[in-house]
Every structure is written in C-alpha cells, then in structure tokens.
Amino acid sequence: MGVLTELLKGLRATGSVLIETVTGKEMLTTRYPKEMREKPQRFHGRHVLNRYPDGMEKCIGCELCAGACPARCIYVRGKDNDPENPNSPGERFGFVYEINMLRCIFCGLCVEACPTEAITMTQLFEFSTTNRGDAIYTREELLMDTDGNVPHMFPDDPLADMKELLTADGWLKATAPAGNASYEGVQTWQGTPGPASWDPEPDQETRDS
Ligand code: SF4
Ligand code: SF4
C-alpha cells in the first residue's frame, strides 16, 4: 500500500509538471543542467585559492588548512618567495597545493583555519570524472585567475562559463600589503570572485583606511 501511495505521488508530480509545461505556468522543477537553481550564498562547493586585488596570492603556505582537515585530503608545501618577484605578500607561498576531492567532505574547516582567507569555497559542484587522478585538484586548478574568475577544472565543458559555476561564497577581506603600490595601506572588503554580486553582511561594509 505504501509503495502504491508513493507511486501515485510520483505520477501526480509528473502530471503537474506536464500540465505546467503545456499551460506555461510556473514550474516546480528546472531543466537541469541547462537551467540551474540559484544556490545558497554559503553553499559548499569546490575550493578556490584567492588572490588580493593586486594579483598577489593570498596563500602563504602555512599548512594550517591541511592540519585542520578532518579527512586529511589537503597537501601543501610552502616555499620562500623570490624577493625580486614574490608570489604572495608573506615570506612564503603555497608552492604545492592539492586537494583530494574524493576524500573531501566539504565541511569548510580548511576555510575556517586559514589566517589569510586564501582558501574559500565556490558554487562549483559538478565533480564527475572518469579518471581518479582528475579528482586531485592541484594548485593550477585551484588558484583563481588574475581577473578574479575561478578556473573551471574542465574548460572544454560546454557549461564551463555558466555564471553559477564561477562564483565563490562569502565576502573576502582584501588587504594588499605588498605588490601594486596603489593598494598600499588599503583595507577593504571585496565581493566574491567572478560575476557574483551579493551584498555585504552587516559587519562587512567597504572601508578604507
Ligand atoms: S572542506 Fe573539510 S574535508 Fe574538504 S578539504 Fe576542507 S577541511 Fe578538508
Ligand atoms: S590556504 Fe591558508 S591555511 Fe592553507 S596553506 Fe594557504 S594560507 Fe595556510
């Protein structure tokens, strides 16, 4: 009886979608993957390694994220910056950075642990791959582009340029103590990387010093 009830429920849902399609009324479902529902701002998708507005990398290779990760799926190796051509404002930068997405539980503890807000999470959630090695995201895939966009792990994917897949969560504190001199001493909150446009939260007003 229970199975029959569930079956009837399913048929009713299908029928109502068919009617909505024919009549043009609002639909409860979306035509994924051509259409995607807006995800919550704090959705935990794949990670991104952020840059300061002047292009410097935020990661200082401290390995705190790796220490905090309960799934032990982050591998970081720091390296001293070249003083003439530094990657980050710190003494060191994340020379090697890998996340094994097969082990990640998307808890966000790495984000919490990071002292420079270098690592945050995006809205990207499509991880299917036919190769186990592709599930190990390297620095190349994780580090955001200098234009602020998040690199897609499968650039040939026809959906790779969808707005929903290019936004990172939250607001990022942007301080740029080195690099482009025009950013010297400026402290502000920058929006999410990519084309997202969320408003700041109450304690995250834009401020300059
Ligand atoms: S989200 Fe959690 S499990 Fe995934 S890499 Fe970060 S700390 Fe590890
Ligand atoms: S992402 Fe953050 S916590 Fe991890 S190594 Fe880089 S600076 Fe340290």
DSSP conformation letters of 10-32: HHHHHHHHHHHHHHTPPPSS--T
Over the stretch 36-49, which tens digit does the pLDDT of each residue have? Answer: 677 776 778 888 89
List the domains of the chain with CATH numbers.
7-37 (no CATH), 47-190 (3.30.70.3270)
Q: Find out whether the beta carbon of 109 lies less than 6 Å from any atom of ligand 1.
A: yes
Which residue is closest in CA terms to ligand 2's atom 8?
62
By C-alpha distance, which of 124, 120, 115, 144 is closest to 57? 144
- Mean pLDDT of the chain, nearest integer: 75
State residue 65's pLDDT score: 97
**How close is the Cα of 3 to the center of ligand 2, in Å?**
50
Q: What percent of the chain has pLDDT over 90?
A: 24
pTM reported for the whole predicted model: 0.71
- Specify the 3-state DSSP secondary structure of 96: strand
Which residue is closest in CA terms to ligand 1's atom 4?
104
State residue 134's pLDDT score: 86
Q: Find out whether the beta carbon of 116 lies less than 6 Å from any atom of ligand 2.
A: yes
State residue 92's pLDDT score: 94
CB 92 within 8 A of CB 81: yes
State residue 151's pLDDT score: 66
Over the stretch 129-148, which tens digit does the pLDDT of each residue have? Answer: 888 888 899 998 888 877 66
Q: Find out whether the beta carbon of 108 lies less than 6 Å from any atom of ligand 1.
A: yes
- Provide mean pLDDT across the span 163-180: 48
- Specify the 3-state DSSP secondary structure of 133: helix
Q: Which ligand is nearest to the CA of 48?
A: 2
Tell me which of 59, 64, 69, 76 to substitute to probe ligand 1's pocket, judged by most ligand atoms within 8 Å of the beta carbon: 69
Q: Find out whether the beta carbon of 60 lies less than 6 Å from any atom of ligand 1.
A: no
CB 67 within 8 A of CB 113: yes
Q: Find out whether the beta carbon of 61 lies less than 6 Å from any atom of ligand 2.
A: yes
By C-alpha distance, which of 145, 146, 106, 111 is closest to 125? 106
Over the stretch 54-111, which tens digit does the pLDDT of each residue have? Answer: 778 889 999 999 999 999 999 999 999 998 888 988 899 999 999 999 999 999 999 9
